[in-house]
């Protein structure tokens, strides 16, 4: 593990904790799990999909062998590989619905239980822990920002569907915005993003750095 990752890991873990807690707290306010969530998803589907940002950390940490070589060096490297591996958007939608169904009769409670368990795993993980993701082994310190990004963006989606302000925690928002900027750089979209964010232009419909 390089020095930068070791230094970043405690702050990254705290951002992950904040993102997870914000997701849990927002899910706890849901009073109609069948209301529209995001695209074709209901709120239950959206919460189920978002819960996978927690469950994958638990699963991938458990699969990594000690001393395994790192294949993916950064969160920004991860996204192009992961998106290429996703395949059919219909399968992504189905996974969200399946994850929502798996939350059972009390989705908010189930999400809270998952978050508590996963946060304990992350707290207990060594500083040089490696996650065996589907696109290659990654340092936990490099993988967590992708999960923070997913938790933060999708909790913003959830807040929007519930009609409440999307007040992302500072640490989680900072990590997410940093990754967003890195992704924009890689796709040659930094200029457009900077102009729009400073009131000097607008972004076309469907603009994304992913």
> CA 39, CA 104: separation in Å to the nearest integer?
22
Q: What is the DSSP letter of 102?
A: T
Domain of residue 134, residue span: 3-172
Residue 44 domain-assigned (yes or no): yes
Residue 107 domain-assigned (yes or no): yes
Q: Residue 18 sits in a domain of what CATH number?
A: 1.20.120
Tell me the pLDDT of the chain (210 aa) as tens digits: 443 444 447 899 999 999 999 999 999 999 999 999 999 999 999 999 999 999 999 999 988 777 788 999 999 999 999 988 876 788 889 999 999 999 999 999 999 999 999 999 999 998 889 999 999 999 999 999 999 999 999 999 999 999 999 999 999 999 999 999 999 999 999 999 999 999 998 998 889 999
Asked whether 70 and 137 are in contact (CB, 8 A), the reply is yes
Residue 144 domain-assigned (yes or no): yes
Can you state the angle between helices 3-27 and 107-124, rounded to 10 degrees?
Answer: 160
Domain count for the chain: 1
Residue 12 domain-assigned (yes or no): yes
Residue from 202, 193, 79 nearest 145 by CA:
79
Does this model's pTM top 0.85? My answer is yes
> CA 92, CA 203: separation in Å to the nearest integer?
26
Residue from 121, 122, 125, 117 nearest 66 by CA:
125
> CA 100, CA 96: separation in Å to the nearest integer?
6
Angle at 76 between CA 75 and CA 80, to 5 degrees: 110
């Amino acid at each position: 593990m390089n020095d930068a990752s070791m230094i970043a890991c405690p702050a990254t873990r705290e951002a992950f904790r904040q993102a997870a807690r914000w997701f849990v707290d927002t899910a706890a306010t849901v009073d109609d799990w069948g209301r529209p969530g995001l695209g074709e998803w209901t709120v239950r589907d959206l919460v189920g999909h978002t819960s996978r940002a927690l469950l994958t950390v638990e699963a991938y940490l458990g699969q990594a062998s000690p001393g395994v070589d790192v294949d993916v060096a950064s969160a920004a490297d991860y996204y192009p590989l992961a998106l290429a591996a996703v395949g059919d958007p219909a399968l992504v939608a189905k996974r969200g619905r399946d994850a929502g169904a798996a939350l059972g009769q009390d989705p908010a409670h189930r999400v809270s239980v998952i978050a508590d368990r996963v946060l304990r795993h992350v707290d207990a993980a060594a500083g040089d822990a490696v996650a065996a993701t589907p696109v290659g082994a990654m340092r936990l310190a490099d993988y967590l920002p992708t999960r923070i990004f997913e938790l933060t963006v999708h909790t913003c989606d959830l807040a929007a569907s519930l009609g409440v302000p999307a007040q992302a925690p500072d640490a989680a928002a900072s990590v997410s915005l940093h990754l967003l900027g890195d992704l924009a750089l890689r796709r040659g979209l930094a200029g457009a993003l900077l102009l729009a964010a400073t009131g000097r232009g607008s972004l076309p419909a469907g603009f994304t750095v992913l």
